[in-house]
Homo-oligomer: A and B are copies of this chain.
Amino acid sequence: MNDLAPYIETGKQLIDDFINAHFIKKGYDKKFPHNKFSLADAMLYTLAMPGKRIRPIILLLAAESLGFSDKKKLLPFASSLELIHSYSLIHDDLPSMDNDNLRRGKPTNHIVFGEATAILAGDALLAEAFVMLSDKDYVGEFDPVKIIETIRELSCAAGAGGLVEGQFHDVNSFGESLEPEKIEYINEKKTASLIASACAAGAILSGKDERVVSEFRKFGCYIGLAFQAVDDVLGITGNKEILGKTAGIDKTNNKLTMAENIGLEKTRELIKEYNEKAMAHLEKTGAETGMFIELINYLTDRIN
């Protein structure tokens, strides 16, 4: 039996619909529309790229595995994660960073809109996450203390405590030979921190105490580390067309991924280890684990 596939399909649709409705509601760029494109066009371009929406889905799963039953109420929180993720993708791809021209099979944001607009679209997506999280039409029925805790969780992951710190060490290590411990640290910040926050936010919003929130955060951290390690393996073994990005880009930057550093076999062992650690934390939460076991298998066995 596979319950996860329809769950992901439904979730993706709800999240995409929520994000689109949000931009229609806000009506950005109605005054002085730019001839060629608007800021909202550039924001929506990367948001609308075909993606797994894995971070929003994880937030939904976390809350629902703990008994929260009204999925629709979770959508602003789940969608805000996709805004934060898209902001980080746009900025990571910039010429001064990873200088990547292709993302999910399409030209990257700065290739289409130019570098200045791409930087601004990323900035605007990051700010928009907090516009969404503080909109009382969306979140007004939640305990405001829980909303603030969620904002804290996501803002920490989005900035110097997470994504940005990871990318900072990443771009400032080009050409350096990194020990696996530092690669893991970068992966934890750059990839795992937002997935960990998605898990923690789901637990916060379902009303759980700090102990459960913390176990969920650790669970998310390990599945995030596994997620990145699988990406690194696919970077070596994967098919460029299926991956939808330029193969070997990390090598171009003289930046060794975990899989390139310790080898494929050891990386596969590491993925197994991360997944086991993740499950150990999950089992302490009292959550329904069935869908998460499916999720771990889905994330580990994927080909893109």
* Interface hub of A119, A128, A147, A168 (most chain B Cβ within 10 A): A168
CB-contacts of A10-40 with B (<8 A): 26, 28-29, 31-32, 34, 36, 39-40
Q: Is the CB of B161 within 8 A of A120?
A: no
| A156 contacts across to B, CB distance below 8 A | 127, 131
Question: Complex formed: what's the CA distance from A29 to B172 in Å?
Answer: 13
Q: Is the CB of A161 within 8 A of B131?
A: yes
Question: Complex formed: what's the CA distance from A94 to B144 in Å?
Answer: 38
When A134-B151, A148-B148, A172-B117 are in contact, do A160 and B43 touch as well, CB less than 8 Å? yes
| A158 contacts across to B, CB distance below 8 A | 127, 130
| A136 contacts across to B, CB distance below 8 A | 148-149, 152
- Is A266 among interface residues, defined by CB-CB distance under 8 A? no
Question: Complex formed: what's the CA distance from A93 to B112 in Å?
Answer: 22
CB-contacts of A87-121 with B (<8 A): 87, 91, 94, 96-97, 114-117, 119-120
- Is A195 among interface residues, defined by CB-CB distance under 8 A? no
- Is A76 among interface residues, defined by CB-CB distance under 8 A? no
- Is A192 among interface residues, defined by CB-CB distance under 8 A? no
Question: Complex formed: what's the CA distance from A32 to B31 in Å?
Answer: 47
Q: What's the interface size class on A, roughly?
A: 35 or more
- Is A167 among interface residues, defined by CB-CB distance under 8 A? yes
Q: Is the CB of B160 within 8 A of A26?
A: yes
Question: Complex formed: what's the CA distance from A175 to B6 in Å?
Answer: 51
CB-contacts of A185-244 with B (<8 A): 185
- Is A276 among interface residues, defined by CB-CB distance under 8 A? no
Q: Is the CB of A32 within 8 A of B169?
A: yes
Assembly stoichiometry (copies): 2
- Is A126 among interface residues, defined by CB-CB distance under 8 A? yes
Q: Is the CB of B155 within 8 A of A144?
A: no
Q: Determine the residue in chain B with the shortest Cβ distance to A36.
A: B172
- Is A3 among interface residues, defined by CB-CB distance under 8 A? no
- Is A123 among interface residues, defined by CB-CB distance under 8 A? yes
Q: Determine the residue in chain B with the shortest Cβ distance to A40.
A: B160
Q: Is the CB of B144 within 8 A of A39?
A: no
Q: Determine the residue in chain B with the shortest Cβ distance to A181.
A: B32
Q: Is the CB of A122 within 8 A of B120?
A: no
| A164 contacts across to B, CB distance below 8 A | 39, 120, 123-124, 127
When A130-B155, A148-B144 are in contact, do A29 and B120 touch as well, CB less than 8 Å? no
Question: Complex formed: what's the CA distance from A126 to B83 in Å?
Answer: 14
| A135 contacts across to B, CB distance below 8 A | 152
Question: Complex formed: what's the CA distance from A126 to B159 in Å?
Answer: 8
Contacts A/B (CB < 8 Å), 13 sampled: A39-B160, A91-B123, A96-B119, A116-B172, A117-B172, A124-B160, A124-B168, A126-B127, A128-B159, A130-B154, A134-B152, A144-B147, A147-B148
A-B pairs, 5 with minimum CB distance:
A127-B159, A130-B155, A144-B144, A134-B152, A96-B115
